[in-house]
Structures are given as C-alpha cells and as structure tokens.
Amino acid sequence: MKQATLIIIKPDGLKKSLTGNILTRLSETKLEIVGAKIVKVSRELAEEHYKHLKDKPFFEEVIRYIQGELHDRRKVMALVYWGADAIAKCRQLAGSTNPEEADPTTIRGAYGRITTSGVYENVIHVSANEEEAEREIKLWFQPDEIIVELYPIKEVIIKEKKIRVWA
C-alpha cells in the first residue's frame, strides 16, 4: 500500500554536512520524493510538531534542538517520501530514537549522538505511523508544495491576506 511519510533532516544533520549521505541512504528505499524544502522552524511549528512530548522533562531542549539553537543552524530540510510501505522502510533506515541503541548501520546509529545535557541528537525525523504522517505532512506542507494529492483538498478564497512577493 502506498504511504507518505515526513522526513526532516535536523539541524545537526545539516551542520555535519550529511544531507547527501542521508538522501543517498533514503534512495535505497526506491520511494519517490514528492515534496522538499528548507524551513526556518518557528517556535510555534516546533511546539506543534512535538506536542506529544509536551510533558517530558526534555521538551524545552528538543524544541531548541529542532529550531537549530544547539547547532547555530536555524534551518531544517523537510521532505515527503511516497510509495509502498514508506513509513516502515524509512523508520528502519533511520534506526532507533536513541542513537546509542540504534543499529550502527542505520542513519541514527551511524551519525547520531547523545549530548551532555541528554538530548538525542539523532539527525533525522521520520513519521512513526500513518496518522502521525498525515498530521505532520499537513503541518509542514501546503497542498501545492506536494506534487501528488495525498489527502483531500478544498479550495477557499482568502480576502485581504498580506503576502510577501518579489519587489
């Protein structure tokens, strides 16, 4: 069954120049990239993305981490991968959440680390299941930023919305 999954190359992945390696590893899955962009993560987006961790003692550090404050790299790369069993394939390549427990041949096992303050710097995010993937893809991407119609879309007319255009 075709599935979509959100992948985020986190600020440590960008700082360590791992983008190419990670995309090469992910290409082993033969999945299709249907959306991709560089995002400067707002506090609001970070909190919404990690809202399931709101009550954890490490929540604040994880927010700082995804916003790039631990790496002086205030950006991430967000991608949507699409194809058969996308979630399981990408989770498997990513490895366990804790990089020290992750199989060393996985992305997190090979490139992740635990900081002295205890944050799992694990290089990439991968949606854990279909429900999470849908919530996260809708959070990070607008329908027109993805080249296939993954979820139902509606058209709305927005009046007097201020947007930025090239001067």
Q: Which residues of 45-60 are buried (b: 16+ CB within 10 A; e: fewer)?
A: bbbebbeeeeeeeeee
Burial of 64 (0-12, 13-18, 19+ CB in 10 A): middle
> Could you say which DSSP state residue 68 is in?
T
49 is catalytic: no
**Candidate list 69, 128, 134, 143; residue touching ligand CDP; CB under 6 A:** 128
CA distance 67 to 10: 9
Position 62 contacts ligand CDP (CB under 6 A): yes
Q: Report the partner that residue 62 touches, choosing among ligand CDP, Mg ion, none (CB closer than 5 to 8 A by kind).
A: ligand CDP
**Candidate list 82, 111, 120, 140; residue touching ligand CDP; CB under 6 A:** 120
For the bound state, the minimum distance from the C-beta of residue 26 to ligand CDP, rounded and expressed in Å, comes to: 16
Where in the sequence numbering do the catalytic residues fall?
Answer: 125
* Positions that interact with ligand CDP (CB under 6 A): 53, 58, 62, 97, 119-120, 122, 125, 128
